[in-house]
Amino acid sequence: MADTYVYAGTYTRKGSVGIYPFQFNSTDGSLEPVAEPVPASNPSFLAIHPTGKYLYAANEDDVGAVTAYEIGSGGGLTHLNEQPSHGAAPCHLMCDATGAFLIVANYTSGTVSVYPTGSDGRLGEATEKIQHSGSSILERQQGPYAHSVNIDAQNRFAYLADLGMDQVVIYEIEINRGKLRPAGYLDTAPGAGPRHFDFHPNGKNAYLINEIGCTMSALSYDPKFGSLEEINTLSTLPGEVEQGFSTADVHVHPNGKFVYGSNRGHNTIACYSIDEATGAIEFVARTDVEPVPRNFAIDPSGSFLLSAGSNSNKTTTFAIDRDTGALSPTGAVTDIPECVCLLFVPQ
């Protein structure tokens, strides 16, 4: 993977420029800058086009936007165009497998938007704008907060984790029209606050991390109907949820044996083993990381985990034991201001 890039999305509130391009060293897991940072306003989450040629950023502002970039031969980014996100604080986005559309979750407004992507990577005007409606039991859940979007391997269903509604809302994707059709939902425990979501490579399971309740949920997935069902849920913490504690990101290891979730405030990454037969999770270990781990990423080979400390401005690399799931610091540390997203892009 000598030609694998890593792009870092950041908040630009305390000195960060925007998007930072790096070369990933597959031998030691370190990062080396390959181009100048790209100026952008709060490009908090990034997504890659299936061709690997284009990158998209959610500009997490009160009046949100989505920006398209072309990836150059040396890893640098060229601005193509941008579109309004049709919502406040867009915080997550994902391309469908055909590369025809980009789906965006707007956090503060609880809205979802869909955009066509041209053959040149540019974004067209939105073909769909959906307003979530609902609430839950806590003061910060008095309205919808769409927090992430994930698409299944069949490219049939999109899953929107909504923190405010305590639901993962399921949509069937109408590729020919760029539309989303309601297809059901999964209710979480009241006050859980679902945040991020990841599919297992077996196509039978998915894993959901819940921000407010600080829990990880193992789910079964029905590819025919797109439905989800809870298998088991475990805490991400060793004790009670304290003030300032919340979870953030979740990723299944490429070998399917482990799933990891990050704890903010507690500043750890929790590892769980996955039962091959049932998909259920069992706690393995927690590893201390730099504060505050809003995001982390596992390299495509499954050898390294990179944890972004958004408050420390340091991204650290850990070696992954493929047999036990254990994380060991490699000593590789990269200075990235206010990093909140790490995206691997193999070339």
For the chain, domains (ranges, CATH) are 4-346 (2.130.10.10)
Q: What is the mean pLDDT of residues 101-118?
A: 98
Q: What is the mean pLDDT of residues 246-265?
A: 98
The yes-or-no verdict on residue 276 having pLDDT over 70 is yes
Query: Among residues of the chain, what percentage have pLDDT more than 90?
Result: 99
- In sequence order, which residues have a C-beta less than 8 Å from that of residue 130 and are 6 or more positions away? 111, 112, 113, 171, 180
- In sequence order, which residues have a C-beta less than 8 Å from that of residue 160 and are 6 or more positions away? 105, 112, 132, 146, 148, 149, 168, 169, 170, 171
Q: What is the mean pLDDT of residues 161-187?
A: 98
* Cis peptide bond prior to 292, omega within 30° of 0: yes
Residue 3: predicted pLDDT: 81
Q: What is the mean pLDDT of residues 160-172?
A: 98
Alpha-carbon distance 12 to 61, whole Å? 10
Residue 347: predicted pLDDT: 84
Three-point CA angle 127, 133, 137, nearest 5°: 145
Q: What is the mean pLDDT of residues 282-296?
A: 98
- Contact 182/133 with Cβ under 8 angstroms? no
Q: What is the mean pLDDT of residues 33-53?
A: 98
- Contact 114/103 with Cβ under 8 angstroms? yes
pLDDT digit string, tens, across residues 136-159 = 999 999 999 999 999 999 999 999
Tell me which amino acid residue 60 is: E
List the beta bridge partners of residue 69. 55, 79
Alpha-carbon distance 58 to 4, whole Å? 22
Residue 18: predicted pLDDT: 98
The yes-or-no verdict on residue 250 having pLDDT over 60 is yes
Q: What is the mean pLDDT of residues 210-234?
A: 98
- In sequence order, which residues have a C-beta less than 8 Å from that of residue 29 and are 6 or more positions away? 299, 303, 304, 306, 317, 318, 319, 330, 332
Q: What is the mean pLDDT of residues 229-234?
A: 98
Tell me which amino acid residue 82 is: E
Residue 2: predicted pLDDT: 57
Alpha-carbon distance 300 to 31, whole Å? 15
**From residue 252, how far is each of 4, 33, 82, 249 by CA, in Å?**
20, 27, 31, 11
Query: Among residues of the chain, what percentage have pLDDT more than 70?
Result: 99
Residue 1: predicted pLDDT: 44
- In sequence order, which residues have a C-beta less than 8 Å from that of residue 323 and are 6 or more positions away? none
Highest averaged pLDDT of the listed ranges 1-5, 325-329, 343-347: 325-329
